[in-house]
Amino acid sequence: MLSVFNSINNAFCGVLGISSYMQGVVVLMCINIIAVLGMSVLTGFTRLFSFGNAGFMSIGAYTAAILTVRYNVNFLVAIILGALAAGFVAFCLGSITLRLKGDYFLITCLGFGECVRVLFNWTKNLTGGSAGFPGIPAYSNMLFSVVCCILAFFIAWRFIHSKYGRNLTSIRENEVAAQAVGINAFRTKRLSFVFSAIYAGWAGAIYAGYLMYIVPSAFNLGKSCELITTTVIGGLGSLTGSVLGAILVTVLPEVFRSMANYRMLLYGIAVVLVIMFKPSGLYGYKEFSLKRTIAWFKNLGKGKEKTKAAAGKEDK
């Protein structure tokens, strides 16, 4: 099955003339989109900040890698089990930590992420330790990643526009008022936390199948910070904004790659400029609408025509 899927991907990319480099960029973009969509549900719609999502990514990645390499489990089943494993750990962790208020929940998640990384470093017989876990089958090609990305967006969209998604928004706006109308704030926040972890585990499992080699240091605190930063850049409370933010965060370092030592500096400046001049994010609390976009271009055209007409009258 894996060879058939890779053959379809190679044929598809060959017809379109997509290079292996561009395929890699698209795969990384899709991985970031899936992880950021989960973070958006947690942070953008529930107003909970977590520095532990890199830990959930590592759980998904190592679960899928161990199942495919050591137990010959089908890669699709391994990805699903990796995502569910991350969700189960989040359920257990959230049942304890979500009763904490303010910064205490954030700090607990930060500690959890670092504990997971250290644990994978110590368990050399199972995970390879700091030397890494090699030999993972290359199941994450471009076509497969794009399909997973579209499916992830569709599920997140349906979730946010369901009764549960409206409950998340109510808690974000006013938790006390939400509880007054019968919403169980604790269970709803735990559901959001588990949803975010499942998406992080999903992204981690795809990441393992793309690199074919994973190390615990790839899922450090910096990765969690990157996910939160991307969510803020895209815009809190916006799924399409999260997608746009993930695309920018993936593409910008590649655009500046030719500048060698300065590319990460320029990337950081670009991120700071977005946050300074657009604090709400690129699509803060809004969703992309094709009708609004078309109407905007029409109004822009009418504005130019009025300007030209006014200029003509002044000349006369």
First to last CA, the chain: 74
68: left (phi over 0), alpha (psi -120 to 50) or beta: alpha
Residue 13 pLDDT > 80? yes
Segment 202-212 shows an average pLDDT of 95
Please state, for a pLDDT cut of 70, what percent of the chain lies above it: 88
Q: Is the pLDDT of residue 251 over 60?
A: yes
Of 81-85, 97-101, 187-191, 238-242, where does mean pLDDT reach its minimum? 97-101
**What is the arithmetic mean of pLDDT over 90-108?**
89
What size, in residues, is the chain? Answer: 316
pLDDT at 198 over 90: yes
263 pLDDT band, cuts 50/70/90, is: low
Higher pLDDT, 139 or 312: 139
DSSP state of 43: I
Residue 133 phi, psi (nearest 5): -120, 105
Spatial separation of the C-alpha atoms in residues 160 and 122, rounded to whole Å: 39
pLDDT at residue 268 above 80?
no
Confidence of residue 292 (pLDDT cuts 50, 70, 90): low
* pLDDT on residue 234: 87
Residue 62 confidence (pLDDT) above 70: yes
- Identify the pLDDT of residue 136: 94
**How confident is the model over 185-191, as a mean pLDDT?**
94
Smallest CA-to-CA distance from 42 within 2, 120, 97, 80 is with 97
Confidence of residue 108 (pLDDT cuts 50, 70, 90): very high
Quick one: pLDDT at residue 269? 78
Most confident listed range (127-131, 152-156, 178-182, 285-289)? 152-156
Q: Which of 98-102, 113-117, 148-152 has the lowest mean pLDDT?
A: 98-102
Query: Is residue 224 within 8 Å of 101, Cβ to Cβ?
Result: no
The residue behind tokens 């480099």 is 21
Strand partners, 29: none
Q: Please report the pLDDT score of residue 252 as a whole number.
A: 80
pLDDT at 310 over 60: no
Long-range contacts formed by 98-104: CB under 8 A, 24+ apart: 98/48, 98/186, 98/189, 98/190, 98/193, 99/186
State the pTM of this model. Answer: 0.90
Contacts of 23 (CB under 8 A, 6+ apart): 13, 141, 142
Q: Taking 60 as the threshold, does the pLDDT of residue 311 lie above it?
A: no
Residues 6+ apart with CB under 8 A from 304: none
Tens of pLDDT along 109-118? Answer: 999 999 999 9
